[in-house]
Homo-oligomer: A and B are copies of this chain.
Amino acid sequence: MGQVCFGIDIGGTEVKVGLFDTEGKLLNNWNFTTIRTGNGKDILKDAANFILDKMKETNLSKEDVLGVGVGIPGPVKDNGEVLELVNLGIGHFNIEEEMEEMTGLKVKAGNDANVAALGEMWMGGGKGYRSVALATLGTGVGGGIILNGTVLAGSNGAAGEIGHIFVNDKETSTCGCGKCGCLEQYASATGIVRLAKHILEEKEEPSSMRDYENLSAKDVFDCAKEGDKLALEVVEKACYYLGVAMAHIAQVIDPEVFVIGGGVSKAGEIITETTKKYYNNYVMDALKNKEFKLATLGNDAGIYGAAKLILA
């Protein structure tokens, strides 16, 4: 085995670890529950010890390991500085310096959504491209921007926070961020269900969406694919807002490709095609007809991108 690197994706409930060769081949992967006792930083120590254990088990020396990439759920500056990880209960610190001390290995860190975008560029839906805008449609809407092969962190580590792009000045419900009319309120799984419930309340037409006791975003897409009129309206509305937000992104950074990931993207091409249709209405000619791809790495995008932080 030649030189390798680790990619770690630290989440609030689970830590994922991947061991990669320099070509992006996943050689091995593991996951374990995020410990939530003691100091929040114990999570990092736990991950560092896990790496050291695995190196011992597989006879990897420090010379074999190019480094450890880490994705974490919060803003990270280019220099590894973290202001606060609310979800993990950790305050201001430099994650790269502290984990380098713990492991004796080179460490590079990034925000989890940005890192996932890097993973999708490297080995997923954005493979072959160097400038990628990723939208992750899950419980919320996350995003990541890759320019010329590099993660754009932003001056406060908040670049690519596309879930909170303002898209609707008529919204009266409040988003988790405190504003009204954020993309996340329409294009997340939660947002899609919310749109569906509104339409089902507003209109009296029959719809197979009415048959579900706990309607999910997947159910909405399933109904839409079978031609259900109200479900199609929901999909059009969610993709309209997503298309508008992507038009804003294009006018600012002009990426080569948009990649749509997250649980909602499992609905498939109905999302990329519908979003692209609206997108084209809201960009200038030079930006029309960009590629819209589905993410392909699923929950592994984070470990791929984390490893790529080391190889970039």
Contacts and interface: CB of A to CB of B under 8 A. Distances in A.
As for how many copies of this chain the complex holds, the number is 2
A251 B177 contact: no
B253 A253 contact: yes
- Identify the 8 closest CB pairs spanning chains A and B, nearest first: A154-B254, A159-B254, A155-B256, A248-B248, A166-B282, A158-B286, A164-B284, A158-B254
Interface residues of A, number: 41
Contacts of A126: none
Nearest to A133: B252
Contacts of A250: 158
Contacts of A85: none
16 contacts: A78-B148, A131-B154, A131-B155, A145-B253, A154-B254, A155-B255, A158-B251, A158-B284, A158-B286, A159-B253, A161-B254, A164-B251, A166-B247, A248-B252, A252-B253, A253-B253
A218 to B, nearest CB: 27
Interface of A: 75, 78, 131, 145, 147-148, 152-162, 164-166, 177-179, 244, 247-256, 281-287
Given A161-B286, A252-B252, 16 more contacts: A78-B148, A131-B155, A145-B252, A145-B253, A152-B253, A154-B253, A156-B286, A158-B250, A158-B254, A158-B287, A159-B252, A165-B252, A177-B284, A177-B285, A178-B285, A179-B284
Contacts of A153: 254
Contacts of A256: 155
Contacts of A162: 251-252
